[in-house]
Each structure stands twice: as structure tokens, then as C-alpha cells.
Structure 1
């Protein structure tokens, strides 16, 4: 059906429902439910533009959704209505307003299945292809707008959730309409038999279609009242439902006669003073029994209050004794705190010694770095001296080669080894070189070489001794440093353990004091409240 025809059906259905001329309403069924459409807050009347024609019944133009689905306030209002509906109907899952702001596809399908089951309790959502099933269900229910299959893949997106929310609101309206129709069916089901067969038949459909077409034609021509069409339709409905007007008139007359009789009897009962006094006597006797039972209840309640007051007084005494013991324990703990082993002065002294040891470690570390730097410089100087000795030896070897003293097979060597090998240990080698050089070379050259070798040997020995001294100093300092670190570690561990023990003891004392104070406050409040309540109830009982 086109959009104009759906407006016509909606308008004429409301006209039939609101008609007061027919005392027996027509029955409702699934066919009438399918004829009801949802158009939001659209009104039909004199203010509606009537520029359409009857040719609109066969149109296939898509309907534009006029609801402000992209308005945030409207969307929030729809979400509130959806939340209220799901809460009232007993939604089984976890329900929150935050979840309805941007639900997932799984959550939307679960909500849709729950709402649709209000229309069809036997419905079961398939496990696969739910993206195709939901639009197909809406299309089968004649949802006037389009919910695409692609929108089901991202229902919670800001651009698709308003459309899905609009579909849910339309479905909820269908559920409400169906529930109202069921109530009407239950209310008026006794007035006619086999009404479903009448409404589902072709005769009823033809009659309703004729009435709808004629009334809508007059409405499009500018008329606002359809009394003649309504009267004709009502008369035809009476014939269809076999309404006996004579029986209705006789039943109304019988109701009037019975009403007059009841009114007369009520007036006579008011004029009969003896009956009135007897009724008053019965009422007073009933009131007396109630007062006696109430008095016995008050006495029992008074005894309960007295027992409760005695129990509260005993509990108050016990609480007072517990409070005194806790106060004594608090005083003992305070004395223990004052007489503890480590005082704040001791803690300050330990911290001061710790700082001094750290300064000593820093100073020794700096001395160690200086000694290492000095050792490095001495090693550099020794390497330079070695390089010089090697250069001298190389010059000697070069000069000896020029003089043909080396190698052993040289011309002037005469089978003697005049080659000087650097860093050869032992006095025998040096004396052998000296003897050979003294024999073969001049005295001056021999003395210079000897002095230079002796000087270099002495320098080497002195450097080795200084290096050994520096290494021994480094080892001593390292051992001292390790001992000081071990002492510092022990002092820190002892300080930390002492501080932790003090903190734990203070926390325990504070927690115990706080719990005792809280318990005392609660007990005082309970005692005061119970005593005041008992006094008020006793006063009320005495007054009564």
C-alpha cells in the first residue's frame, strides 16, 4: 500500500475506535493489527494539507523519515523510553543507559529479539545471518522506513544507531498497540461469538474498505465530519454482528428498574432507626474487641521495651568496662612508646653517622681515582722510556750494521754476537755484551752504553716498585671501602627494621584506638536512639 492509503487506514481506524454511537466494539485480531500503522506524532484533521489525490494509493515512492533522529535530545529521550520499556518487561540481560548509548551488534540483536518476542513469543533468532534477518522482520511487519543490511554490521556507530533506535521505538509502539488490542479483546469478548471469523472474513474486509474509501474521499474534499458515513457503517456492523436492539432496550429498562429498587431500599435502610442502632452496636462491639486486643498488644510491647531497656543498660555497663580497659591499655602503650629503645635523638645520630660514612666513601673513592690516574701516568712514562730504549737499541743495531759488527757472520764481527736484544734479563748477558764491546769498541762508547743501560735499569726498577706500591695502596683502600660499605649496609638494615617495627606498632595502636572510639560512638548512638524511641513509645502508649 502507498503512503496515502496507510494514512487513510490509520485515520479511519481511529474514527471507528472513537465512535461513541456503537455500544459493542468490533473485535481485534492479527489482521486488524496489520492494518495499524505507526507515524509518530502525525495528526490528521483540519490542519492537514489536502493537496494529494486518490491516485496516491498505488505509489511506490520511498517514505522519508520525518522524526528528528539526528537530534541528540530526541535520541536521549528515545533511549530513556527504551530503557524504561526493557526494565518494565523484565529484560534478562545486563541493562544500563551507557550500553544503550552505543551498543554492539550482538547487544542490539539481543534487545531486538526480546522486543519482538512480545509480539511473537515463539520467535527464535537464528545464530547466523542476523544482519539479514532483522531487516527482513521489519519489512514483514511493514516498517515504513528502510533499515539497510550494511547498517547492521556497525549498529553502534553515530550515523547508524539513531536509525536502529527509531526501528526499536516503532517496534515498541507496535507492542503497546498489540497489548491494548488484547485488553479490548478480553474486555468485549463476551458480547459476540465467532468474532474472529467475522473479522477475518471477506465480508468484514469489504465493509471496512468501503467505509474507509468513502470517508477518506470526503475528507480529501474538505469535510471534517462523517456522521452519515458513520451511521451507515454502524448500522451495517449491527447487522453483521446480529445486534438485537430490542434486547438491549429491554436490558436497559431492567437495569433502570433494578437501580430504582436499590435506591429505594437504601433510603428505607437509612430511615429505619432500629436497624441503624443495631448496626452501630455491632460496630461498637467490634471496636471494643479491637481496643482490648490493642491494649494487650501495648502491654506486651511495653514489657518488650522494658526488657530491651534492661539489656541496653547491661550492654552499656559492659561497654563502659571495655572502654576503661582499652584506656588503660592505651596508657600502657603510650608509656611503652615513650620508653622505647631508639629515641628520635638516636635516629638522628644514626643518620648523621650514615652521612659521615657516605662522605668518607666519597673521599676514598676520589683518592682511589687519583691513585689510578697516577698509576696510569707512571705506566705511560714507563712505556715512553721503553720506547726510547728500543730506539737507542735500534740505533745501535743500525750503527753496528754499518760497522759490520752484526750479525755474527758480519765482516768485523769475527764470529762474535754484538747484537743487543732489548729487555733480556740476567747480569750474564749484560756482562757478555760489555766484555765483547769493551774488547772490540773504544772505552768511551762502552762507558756511555753502560751508563745509559744502568740508568734505564734503575728507572725501570723504581717504576716497578712505585707501581707495586700503588697497587698495594689500591688493594688496602678497596678492602677499607668494602668494610665501610658492609658497616653502612648493616646500619641501614638495622635502621630500616627498627623504623618498620615502630611504624607497624604505631599503626596497630592507632587502628585499635580508632576502632574502639568508633565502636563506643556506635554504642552510644544505639543506646541513645533506643532509649529515646522507648520513651516515646511508652509516652504514646500511656496517652493511648
Structure 2
């Protein structure tokens, strides 16, 4: 019996399913409803210990048919599609939802006490199970990549004894947790930064989850998962299981001759257990129908591919519709704006028409009710023309003043842009020369960076220069010349503005005198024309408001003049500060130059002394060599005659 092969203490809970090919024969009895129910309750993979997430087991949910015999992996049908859909629905609580939102980890992994408890549990388990490496609380706070990889391999070895990390660990470990359906994702980048404070709590949580999984798998009886309590008492299931196991074994061994014997034996056992031949024939017929249905399903196109194509087509259609909708929205917005603009223009035209009509009515009433002579009317017309000309002159003067103010603002804005570009160029050159930041190579702890801060809401510039020191003396001289030129230009502009202000003041005085004459004429007209007193009073108030506006503009120009004076004082003060800093820097350079000259003189003296010593030593060596050469030359060299005489004598 197959049950005897799985002991209660086996360390692996891998699936023990029997896959039956469609060509194994047709005499397979369909199990009863109880057998189907018991088969559907078998767990495929490693069970999960957590109960708060809803499922009782880990691993993939079964996608087999309802007959209790799983189909081959290459079969695509409705039952598999439904199983995959059910698996996706049931496992949606662990991974990302269909909307793409990741679930939040309910564990407070940043809590130090929780981290300490998890680490303690891992160390205790590893110590009890004979972990081959040294382990301690200190080594786990946090561990090295090598130690972490060894721990994962040791823990996962209890689930799969044949497991070895042969590929890159940063790819293999996240795949392991994904296969085990760990509800929270582990990225490849986290494997490279295991010891960082923001990564280690999540890695520790995953490691503790794997530890709980291993503990649960060690407590669970594998036989109870594979064979329920009714398996022994149900003879039909027992016969079917033994037949399926033996037939699959023959199929793997390629022994097709034994299939007939197994079919005959199964029929005899089923008859002996009380099953009628009619039932066997019915099951055989139903099996043939199922095989035909299976062949038809295999010939059909994969529903997943069809659905994928349909999804891609729908995405393209949706994108085209969105683009078209965006174009229509843009066109609608443009048409709406045009309609609003035309509506506003129409409203303005209506208001102008209404005002003109009212003015015509008023003038007609005045014309109908007037009791003056033609000379009086002509006099009033001349006075009205004079007032209109005066009003036009005032309006032109106001426009001229506004134009001058605008030109001054534009000039000031251009000057700001020029200053910013100069400062940026200076900072860029300083960075290239390694003077910025203060920690740069040539900075020596001094902040050489120039910063410009313009005070918003005011026409004057407040420029902050923090510890600015020129790089070289000619640059400082050139900068001083530029500042002097700027001061001269500002002074010239100030003088020009003062002259303009005097001219404007004279013009205002003239206008005031003219205004007095106008008021006198207005009072005379009011005495003569009582019914126009209110109208002329309104015109007088209007002219008075215009004069007040001119006075306000004069006051603003005075404030601008004061601000220019303040800016001039600030520029002069900055020039003095820069001059003092430049003088100090020049003194420092002169002192450093003196030190460098003294150092070079000392070095030259040392080099000359060393050269003299070498020259003396060389002279002594040369004299010794000459003496040795002379001694060698004076030594008598034996000749051939002397050698022959010596030989004859001997």
C-alpha cells in the first residue's frame, strides 16, 4: 500500500499526486462523491501556519478535475481555467490585488522588541536543529549575506531536502518566498542591502515567517494530508488509488504490456467489493465520453491566449478612445473659451450700446430743455473742448510716466539677470578650480561660494555675499572697476531721475494753476447753469482723483529714489568690505611667498651641499681607481719564453 511509504516523520511535504495520462486505458472507475470530496480536501504543497489570512495551506491550489485524478500538465480545459481563476481569487489576499495595491504588513517589524523576539526564535531553532555555522544574537544584528544565505538554505532544507542554492542568491531567495506564497514581496535590491536598517526588519520578518512554516510542517502529519480517515474504509478509493499508482509506474517504466493485467485485476477487485458489471460499463462509457471531450478541448485554442488577444485589442481600442476623447475635450475646451470670449464681447457691446442710448437720451433732454442763447452754447462748447484737451494732456502725461516706470523696472530686471549669470559663472569656475564647497581640495575650509538673494516684494536688491574672497588680484581689481562703473551709471541714472522729477514737479504746478482756473470757470458755470451743477461737480471730483493719482505716483517715485540711494550706500559698503578682504588676502599671499622663498633657498643650499659631497666622493673613487690601474700596469706579466724556461727547468 502506498501509505506505508510516507512515515510520520518525513521532512518534506512535497505533493504526492499521481498524474494519469489520457492514453492509459479506458477502464478507470470514477470515484464516488465521498472519494471526490476526500480528494478535493487533499492539500498540495506545504501548509501555511497562519490562520489570520484565511487559508490553511501553502503552495498552489489544486487545479485538477473533480474526479480526484489530476490531469496532465499539458491539458487545457474549462476545469483548469476555473481552477486557475479560483486559485487567483483565493490567493488574492496574499499578493497584489487586481487593482495593483499591495497589502500592508500587519506586523510591527520596526519594533525592537519584536525583532529581538524573532531573532531569539530563529537562534533557538537553529541551535536545536544542529545548524552547522556559528550563530549568536550579535551575529544576527544584522547577519552577513553569507550567513543569511546559509540560514535560508538550512530552513528551506526541512521542506525540500534536495534544495541547494546553485544560482545567484539574490534571484533564488526571492523566488523561494514567492513560490511559498509569502504575502509580501522581496525585491532583488533588498538582497544586496540585507544589513541596512530599513531592509533588515523586512528580511527578518520573512525569515521568521519561513521558520514558522518549517515548525508547522514538522508538526503536521503528512499521511493525514494525503490520506484522510475514510481512505482505509472506502474500498473503491483504495482500489482506484492502487490501480492509478501501478498504472502510472508502468507508464513511467514504458511497460505497456502490464496495463491489461492491471485492468483485469481492478475489474476483479471491484466485482469482489460488490460493484456490478453494469456500473463498470457505465463508467467505461462515461470515460470514453470524457476522453472525447478532452480531445476536443485539446484541439481548441487556449482560452487564455484568446482572452489575452481580446484584452490587448480592448486595450488598443480603449487607448484610441481615450486619445479621441482627449482631442474632443481639447476641442470642446477651445470652443467653450471662444464662446465665453464672444459672449463677453457681446455683453460689452450691449453695455456700450446701452450707455450710448442713455447718453443720447440725456443730451436730447438737455437740448430740449435748454434756455440759453447760441452764444452761451458756443461758449460752453469751447470750454468743454478746452477741458477735453486738458484731460487728454493729463492722460498722455500719465502714460509717459508709466512708460518710464516700466522701462526702469525692465532695466532693473535685466541687471538682476546679468548679476545672476555672473555669479553662476564665478561659482562654476570656482568649482572647476576645486574651491567650492568648503571641503574641496583647494578650499582649505573656506567658503568661496557667492550667493545672491533678492528680497521679494521690494524694488531694491538685497544681495547676500557670504565670505567672498577673490581668487586672484587682477580679478578683484577688475571686479572693483565693474562695481565703480555700476555706481557711476546708477549715479547718472539718479541725476537723470532727479531732473525728470523736477520737470514733472514744474508741470504739476502748472497743471495746478490751470486747475485753479478751471475751478473758477466751473463755479461761474455753476452759477449760470444750476441744473448742470451736479454733473460738473462729478467732473471736478474726477479731475481731483486724477490729480491725486499723479501725486501718488510722485510719492512712489520719491520712494524709488530713496531706495536707489539705499542701494548705492549698500554697494559702496560692499565695495569697502571687498577692498579690505582683498588687502588682507594680498598680505597673506606676500607672507606665504616669503615663506616659500625661504624654503626654496634652504632646499637649494641642501642640494648644493649634497652635490659637493657627491663630487668629493666621486673624486676619491676616481683617485683610487687610477692608483689601482697604475699598480696593475706595473705588475710583470709572465711571457711565453719565461714559461717555457720554467717548464724545461722542472
Taking structure 2 as the reference length, what is the TM-score of the superposition? 0.23
- Asked which structure has the greater RCO (Cα within 8 Å, sep 6+), the reply is 1
Whichever of the two has the greater Rg, that structure is 1
Q: Which is richer in helix?
A: 1
